[in-house]
Amino acid sequence: MGRVAAGDRRQQLIEAAIRVAERDGIAATTTRRIAAEAGASLASVHYCFRSKQELLQEVLTAIITELAEAARGEVRPGIDAGTLLREGLQALWVIVEKEPGKQQLTYELTHYALRQPGMDSFALWQYEMSYAACSAHLEAIAAAAGITWSRPMPVLARMLMTVIDGVVLGWLVDRDSPAALAALVSLADLLATLAVTPPSDELEGAALDGDLSPG
């Protein structure tokens, strides 16, 4: 077998770690098992990642990024905030239903980190990353819909993340997709009430400013 580029090997190991953790649980996800799953040497794991924690961070990054990109793909200019919120959450939900094992893994990683000495910063990092993804999504919606938010972004991001987190966990227990989707749509409608459209005179002033430019 030919030499595998470091970037490709990192991706293979991340994907292997996800498979092992989904199948065997996070406590059983050792670097040796990950290497075996990827068909790589144990040395290659230590070459690509400074620690198991770094590898787990990459696992979480991949999962969170996949969800964020699914939602972000629905953000289009000229659409109202409520529609963008609903469509983004519905797109996110498609990924959740398609890959429930990955979603369960995120909760297992949180509790695992909180119980492991020296890994409390991992759980904090996990949620900070999720809040940042929610903030970026809400900011993209504001730009596309031409609105501002009536609440501070940290508050809105925590609201969005906390409800998604709870809805997904509840669904992993009862698998009641209609109820879960109904909750997310209601969340979108609620958040939409916090969208503020700039006064029309501000928009007209901006247009006039453009007309006064030298021709």
d(CA 105, CA 36): 20
In a domain, 32, yes or no: yes
Give the domain-ending residue among 12, 31, 49.
49
The structure's pTM equals 0.84
Q: Give, for 148, the enclosing helix (H) or strand (E).
A: strand 148-149
Residue type, 32: R
What pLDDT does residue 142 have?
A: 97
In a domain, 213, yes or no: no
Asked if residues 173 and 107 have their Cβ atoms less than 8 Å apart, the reply is no
- Tell me, yes or no, whether 160 and 197 share the same domain: yes
Please state the domain count of the chain: 2
What pLDDT does residue 52 have?
A: 87
What pLDDT does residue 74 have?
A: 82
In a domain, 178, yes or no: yes
Per-residue pLDDT of the chain (215 residues; tens, 9 = 90+): 457 788 889 999 999 999 999 999 888 899 999 999 999 999 999 999 998 889 999 999 999 999 999 998 889 999 999 999 999 999 999 999 999 999 999 999 999 999 988 888 999 999 999 999 999 999 999 999 999 999 999 999 999 999 999 999 999 999 999 999 999 999 999 999 999 998 865 545 544 554 544 44
What pLDDT does residue 27 have?
A: 85
Q: Which two tokens stand for residue 68?
A: 């964020």
- Tell me, yes or no, whether 110 and 199 share the same domain: yes
